[in-house]
A and B are shown apart, each in its own frame.
Chain A
C-alpha cells in the first residue's frame, strides 16, 4: 500500500516537472503587480517552461513578512523586492544569494546599470546581492503659475539654498508656502551632499557622521525656513499635503521623480499644465527611493528566478514597460536613448522631464547602505530633526544626543 502511494507520488512529481519545469513566485508590494500583469505574459513567450506568480502585500507588511521569512528560513518567494530603505539591514545578513557567483554572473551586467543604484545592491564583501529594478532621481517639482506671479525664473530659485529661501520670503507675502515641510529640505541636504565612499549616517568604518557639517547645515537650513514661517508644517501623505498640491498653496516639493505619477494620477489631476520640474536647489544630486530584486537562499527555483530577475532588470523592453505601466524610472542606461524619454509631458506643460530625470540619474553619487541606517533614520530624521524644528532644541545638542543614541545601538 505504502509502496503504491510512493510510486503514485513519484510519477505525479515526474509528470508535474515535465509539464512545467519551474514555478516561481515574486514577493513584493503594489504597484508592481500592475507592471507584472503586463510583463509576465511577455516573459512567458520566450520562457514557456517558467511560470511566474506573485504575492503582493503593502510596503510595510511586505518587508515584515520578508523579515520573518528570512528569520525562519521558509516562506519567502523565489524573488523578493526590497526597498532601498531596507537594503542596508538585509544585504549583509546572509539571507540572499550571492549573484556575483559564477552561476548567476551578475557582475557582467554592471556596466549597463546606473552606477549608484548598482553599487547600492552590493554587500560589504563587494559581491552583488540585489539588482536594482527602478530608481528615483531627486528633483524639485514647482508650480509654474506661482513662480510666474512672483516674477521669477526657476533658475533664480534653485541657484542655492539662499535663493530658494529668498523665493520663500517672496511667497510669504503672497500667502503661499515655499514647501509643505521644512524637514524635506534637511533630508535633501543630508542625502545629497554625501562624500564618495560614505554612507548617509556612517563612514566606511561604521563611525558616526551625525554631528558632521553636513547634518549641521541641513538642520540649520531647515530651521531657517521653519522660523521664517515659510513652510506649511504639513506632513507627507496626509490630506493636507494633497490639498496643498491641488490649490497651489504650496509652491515647491523636493521629491523623487516618481511623484509625477502620483500627482497626475490621483493627487492633483486637475492641476495639469501648472507644474514644472527642475534640478534640486544648490546644484545637488540625489535619489529618493528605489527598489531592488533579490533571490533568497531558501528559494527553490533559483535558476528560473534569476532568468526572470535578469528579464525585469536587464531587458530594455521590460524596463521601458515599467516606466509606462507604473511610472517606475528605469535603471538600465541604454533605455535612456529611447524616444520615450524625449516625449513632452503634458502635466508638466510639455516639459521633456524624462530627459532631465535620466541626466540626474547619471550624476548621483553612490552612497553605501549600512546596517544602522534604519535606526539612524528614526533617531535623526524622525527624532532629532523634529525636536529642532518643532521644539526649538539646539541643533548641536540635538545632533549630539541623537548620535549617542544611535551609536549605543549600532554595535
Chain B
C-alpha cells in the first residue's frame, strides 16, 4: 500500500516534472523571438523610447541642466503657455513655413522636368553620370556647403556680388544689371529681407538633385507601351508628359513631397551656419523652429521650455503632414492600378 502510494506519487511528481520541463521549453520558445530582436529593442528603448518619454516629462518641468537632475521643478503647463505667447516662436514658425514653401516648390518644379528629360532623352550611361553629379550636393556635408555659401554671399569679396558687378559691365546684358553698382555691396546675409531667399537658394541647390534621383526612378517605371499607345492616339511630346508620365509617377511625387515637407520643417544647419549662430540673423529672419529650439535649450539652458517647444513643433509637423496625406494620399498611394 505504501509502495503503491509512493509509486503513484513518484509517477505524479515525474509527470509534474515533465510538465514543468515542457512549460519551460514552451516559455523558452516564446522567449526566443524576443531574444533575437533584442539588439534592436534595447537600442530602441534606450535611444528612442526613453528620450521621447523623458522629453514629455521634461516639458512640464523648469530645468537648467547645469543644476543637475535634482534641479528640476514641476511647473505644469507653464512652458507650453509661455511658448504659445512667445513672439520669437511665432516668428520662427513663420520663417519655417516660408522657407518650406519657398524651397519645397522649386525643388520639385525643377526636378520633375529634368528627371523626365534625363529618362526620355538620354542614354543610360550619360544619365547615370548626370544623376550622380546632381546627387553630389545631397551627400555633401550640409555644414561644408553652408560654409561655402557663406563665403559666396560675402558682401565685399563674395563671388556672387563680384559676378553681378561683372555682369553689369558686359555690353548687351549689362543693361539688365545696371542697378547693381548702386546697390553694392548687397548684404545677402546682413539684411532681413535678403536673408531668407539666400538660405532658400542653398536648400534648393542641395536637395533638388535628390528629388531628381527619385523622379528618374519613377519615370523609369513607366512602361514604354503606354507612350507608344499614346503616340498611336496622336499625343504630342507635351501631352505624353502631362497625361501619361506625370499621372503614372504619382506615388513618387507623394513620397518626395512627404520627405520635403518633413525635412523642410526641420531645417536647422543651413540657417544656423549662414547666420553664424547669431540668434537667427537680422530681425531673426533666419530663425527656424529647430534653430529656436536649439537656442532655448542649449544657449539659454532652458531644457523644459525647449522640450515644450519641440512638442509644439512635432504637433505642427504632424498637422502639416496629415493635411498633405488627406489631400494627396488616396491618389498618391494607389499606384499604378
Chain A interface residues toward B at CB < 8 A: 64, 67-68, 70-73, 89-90, 93-95, 232-235, 237-240, 243, 371, 374-375, 378-379, 382-383, 386-387, 390-391, 393, 401, 405, 408-409, 411
Contact = CB atoms under 8 A, between A and B. Distances in A.
A68 B156 contact: no
Interface string B174-210: 0000000000000100111000000000000000000
Contacts of B279: 378-379, 382-383
Interface in B280-321: 280-284, 295, 298-303, 305
A243 B157 CA distance: 9
Nearest to B63: A71
Of listed B85, B191, B279, residue having the most chain A CB within 10 A: B279
7 contacts: A64-B298, A71-B65, A378-B299, A387-B192, A391-B282, A408-B86, A411-B62
A233 B187 contact: yes
A405 B278 contact: no
A68 B157 CA distance: 40
B300 A72 contact: no
- Identify which of B86, B157, B283 gathers the most chain A CB atoms within 10 Å of its CB: B283
Given A67-B298, A68-B65, A379-B279, A93 B71 contact: yes
The number of chain B residues touching the other chain, given as a range, is: 35 or more
A408 B85 CA distance: 10
Interface of B: 62, 64-69, 71, 82, 85-88, 151, 154-157, 187, 190-192, 276, 278-284, 295, 298-303, 305
Contacts of B86: 408
Contact of B300 (A375, A383, A387): A375
Residue of B65, B71, B87, B187 contacting most chain A CB atoms (<10 Å): B65
Contacts of B88: 405
B69 A390 contact: no
Contact of A71 (B62, B66, B87): B66
A71 B301 CA distance: 11
Contacts of B295: 378
B312 to A, nearest CB: 16
Nearest to A385: B282
Contacts of B85: 408
B67 A95 contact: yes
Contact of A232 (B68, B69, B156, B284): B156
Contact of A72 (B69, B154, B187, B282): B69
Given A240-B157, A382-B278, A374 B67 contact: no
Contacts of A239: 151, 154, 157
Given A240-B154, A390-B190, A390-B192, A93 B67 contact: yes
Given A239-B151, A378-B279, A390-B191, A89 B66 contact: yes
Given A93-B66, A383-B280, A390-B192, 8 more contacts: A64-B298, A67-B66, A94-B68, A240-B157, A375-B300, A379-B279, A405-B87, A408-B85
A94 B71 CA distance: 9
8 tightest Cβ-Cβ pairs between the two chains A and B: A71-B65, A93-B66, A382-B279, A93-B67, A378-B279, A382-B278, A386-B282, A390-B282
A355 B206 CA distance: 53
A109 B279 CA distance: 39
A210 to B, nearest CB: 15
Contacts of B298: 64, 67
Given A232-B156, A391-B191, A383 B69 contact: no
B165 to A, nearest CB: 16
A411 B79 CA distance: 12
Contacts of A387: 192, 282-283
Given A90-B66, A239-B154, A411-B62, A67 B282 contact: no
Instruction: Give the interface centre of A233, A374, A382 by most chain B CB atoms within 10 Å.
Output: A382
Contacts of A235: 190, 276
Given A233-B187, A379-B279, A390-B282, A409 B302 contact: yes
A407 B284 CA distance: 18
Contacts of B62: 411
Question: Which of A68, A94, A393 has the most C-beta atoms of chain B within 10 angstroms of its own C-beta?
Answer: A94
A379 B276 CA distance: 15
B68 A70 contact: yes
B146 to A, nearest CB: 14
Contacts of A375: 300
A135 B113 CA distance: 60
A326 B143 CA distance: 29
A234 B298 CA distance: 27
Contacts of B281: 386
Contacts of A391: 191-192, 282-283
A89 B301 contact: yes
Contacts of A411: 62
Nearest to B187: A233
Contacts of B284: 383
A149 B301 CA distance: 49
Given A233-B155, A233-B187, A374-B301, A73 B65 contact: no
Given A387-B282, A387-B283, A390-B192, A95 B157 contact: no
Contacts of A383: 279-280, 283-284
A213 to B, nearest CB: 25
Nearest to B193: A391
Contacts of A409: 82, 300, 302, 305
A179 to B, nearest CB: 15
A305 B154 CA distance: 46
A71 B69 contact: yes
Contact of B82 (A64, A90, A408): A408
Given A238-B154, A240-B157, A391-B192, A374 B299 contact: yes
B190 A233 contact: yes
Contacts of B66: 67, 70-71, 89-90, 93, 95
Nearest to A378: B279
A73 B156 contact: no
Contacts of B302: 409
Instruction: Pick from B62, B66, B187, B191 the residue with the most CB of A within 10 Å.
Output: B66
Contacts of B187: 233, 390
Nearest to A393: B283
Contacts of B190: 233, 235, 390
A22 to B, nearest CB: 24
B64 A93 contact: yes
A232 B151 CA distance: 16
